[in-house]
Homo-oligomer: A and B are copies of this chain.
Amino acid sequence: MKPLNVAVIGCGFMGRAHTNAHRKVWNFFDVPYRPVLKVICDVNEERAKKFAERWGFEGYETDYRKVMQRDDIDLVDICLPNNFHAEVAIAAAKAGKMIICEKPLARDGKEALAMVKAVEKAGVPNFVSFNYRRIPAVTLAKQLIEEGRLGRIFHYRAKFLQDWTISKDVPQGGDALWRLDVKAAGSGVTGDLLAHCIDTALWLNGSIEKVNAMTETFVKERLHQLTGKVEKVGIDDACAFLARFSNGSLATFESTRYARGHKALYTFEINGEHASIAWDLHDAHRLQWFDHRDQGKVRGWRSIHVTDHGGDHPYMDKWWVPGLMIGFEHSFVHQLNDFLVGVASGKPASPTFKEALETQYVCDAVLKSAKTGRWEKVKKV
């Protein structure tokens, strides 16, 4: 097991989640490379220092360009606000580093395309952290679909509901709240939450042909933490859209931060000719499965507690014993394992930057449709 020197860029929520994965992955998985926490990078030196201490990094930097110049860094893990993804990723590609980038890949398709070109030119391993693919129940859904168990697909529906910005007193901009600042985030729920829904959908159900969307900004002005002034809110607070997939299925997508009672209710459901699947992030370890081929009198939705071993349930034999849940953070461990295995095997883990570009194009079409009020085609990757 060779060491792999890691630089994590950014100390926020995602910096913690990615760092935790680097620390844990080799305790549980037989990885081909063992991540070594070489450096944490943050513009705020005090924060970088504390983070390095808390997580056991060997050192820290305050300028990401220094990281790129260091020969002892193999992998750059980007955990910054969206507006820095392109800049840092392109620099890392030029420096020949492997790259993991937190989702969404960029603020829009144009930025994302530049990133794709950069990594392809550099020929470096690259990966986008759409972590929900690696929740075991979601990975199981993928397996069931790939086995052809659902037959022709008729419907896909997904939503991602939160309720943390209902109060008008929540400001925008700055450390924890850059997601409300359109300059930093690029968009609101579309890039932040629907990007997850779209990534999963493309993975499970194939390409989306066209979309028809509406967006709304319920709170029009908020205090901006960087300027200290009340400023217009530029993001979409809520977004819903209709979609048609290439396979002929119909879809509805919805996301909002104004759904009282839901903290992170990401749900999806797929209805096929023979079977249906449903999943819910609030009870992430369960997959709902309905198979019409079951005998009539005992046919029903099965609540699969995706915690079994023996090769049955993805990733679970690496953890505890059957029946015992794992949590949110474990999806990052799984994807890191898959990324490392991909690097070693030469079969890159999905989604690469190029694969994630498709999600970006769907987001672009969604935001455009919300303005034009009509169906917009999704640009082909």
The residues of A with any CB-CB pair to B shorter than 8 Å are 13, 16-17, 20, 23-24, 26-27, 54-56, 140, 143-144, 154-155, 157, 159, 161-164, 166, 212-214, 216, 218, 238, 240-242, 244, 250, 252, 254, 256, 258-265, 271-276, 281-285, 287, 289-292, 294, 296-305, 307-308, 310, 312-313, 319-330, 373-375
Contacts and interface: CB of A to CB of B under 8 A. Distances in A.
A27 to B, nearest CB: 6
B154 A238 contact: yes
Contacts of A296: 308, 310, 312
Please give the count of copies of this chain that the complex contains: 4
In the A-B complex, the 3 residue pairs with the smallest Cβ-Cβ separation, listed nearest first, are A263-B323, A264-B323, A261-B290
A292 B290 CA distance: 16
A298 B312 CA distance: 9
A27 B23 contact: yes
Contacts of A273: 166, 260
Query: Is chain A's interface secondary structure helix, strand, loop, or mixed overall?
Result: mixed
A252 B327 CA distance: 31
Contacts of A330: 327
A264 B308 CA distance: 11
A164 B322 contact: yes
B298 A304 contact: yes
A324 B323 contact: no
Nearest to A244: B214
